[in-house]
Amino acid sequence: MAKSKIKAKQNGIHKEQHAAAHPRNDGIPFDASLFENIHVNRSAVERRAATLGKRRSVKKQWQAAWLLKAITCMDLTTLAGDDTPTNVNRLCAKARTPVRQDLLDAMGMGKEKLTVGAVCVYHNHIPTAVNALQGTNIPIAAVSTGFPAGNVPLAEKIKQIELSVAAGAKEIDIVITRELVIQCRWKELYEEVKAYRKACGEAHMKSILATGEISTYTKVAKASWVCMMAGSDFIKTSTGKESVNATIPVSLVMIRAIREYQELTGYKVGFKPAGGIRKAKQALSWLILMKEELGHDWLQPDLFRFGASSLLGDIERQLEHFVTGRYSASYRHPMS
């Protein structure tokens, strides 16, 4: 019964995933009146976030199904200074077959073509990833615009985007100029992000706010609004390089901005938490948050992604526990 429930749940998600096409966010004209009166109550946000893991409990076959769902929404990432073509090739191999075949077979999922949502690399590794992912539908995401700090001239940032798109990247993760947020220079931020979106062309753009470097939730909410107004396909918490990365409270602020923007414009904008998400239990918390706050559409990879490098290993370990009743050593589930 557990196997059939997992299979039925995943098959339903798979079908909905292909039916979940929605108009791309074209952005809207800059209008500060839409967000200038936003004031986020920090205490209320943190109280709501603190209850999340206590009110919901996902167990047994349902937990396994949700963890398989998490894998399909994962941007499998390598952004290290010592990246080599060999590392990238191994990561892409893991992206193609993220869970061991014997575990999938035991869960009745052996014939499903389970893959991650995307592979995220630096620009110079795009050609390697393109070759390694031939024959799949896994898109390549490239970080750009002077990632992670963004402290390079605008013309160079735009050129980086154009080069990555030309090299084969289907998604571009850009970093905004944090100074503009800190100083509340919202019109300048809008023009910057709009220029990035134009340079992306058909490639989808994820705007990284680097929320760990933004002092208040109110500024996070306003920056989210500006990036969406400028045409961002996704808004993303962090580069993964800050001292504080994705947290549930800051995610709550951002996804409520997404909900309000969708109610106003009709455009659905995606969300990507990144940095510090290493455990399967954490992934479940974010999935529950998306389900409760935005609904089922945001449980699909076209509207939700995890930025992660080590999360997959722990999820696979939890799936082996579901199948065998025993926890295995982490080296049995290598990332690459």
Distance of CA 91 to the CA centre of its chain: 17
Q: How far apart are CA 67 and CA 261, in angstroms?
A: 29
CB 197: neighbour CB atoms within 10 A? 24
CA 291 to chain centroid, in Å, comes to 15
Residue pair 227/176 in contact (Cβ under 8 Å)? The answer is yes
| Angle of the 186-200 helix axis to the 154-167 helix axis, nearest 10 | 30
Report the C-alpha dihedral over residues 179, 184, 187, 193, rounded to 10 degrees: 40
Catalytic residue (one of 7, 170, 236, 268): 236
- Tell me which of 75, 173, 302, 314 is the catalytic residue: 173
Fill in the DSSP letter of residue 165: H
Backbone angles phi and psi of 239, in degrees to 5: -85, -20
SS3 state of residue 74 = strand
SS3 234: strand
The answer to whether 236 is a known catalytic residue is yes
* Calpha distance 46→160 (Å, rounded): 37
173 is an active site residue = yes
Catalytic, out of 206, 268, 272, 314: 272
Is 82 among the catalytic positions?
Answer: no
State how far the alpha carbon of 282 is from the alpha carbons of 33, 161, 248, 291, 315, in Å.
Answer: 36, 31, 9, 14, 10
Q: Could you list the active site residues?
A: 173, 236, 272
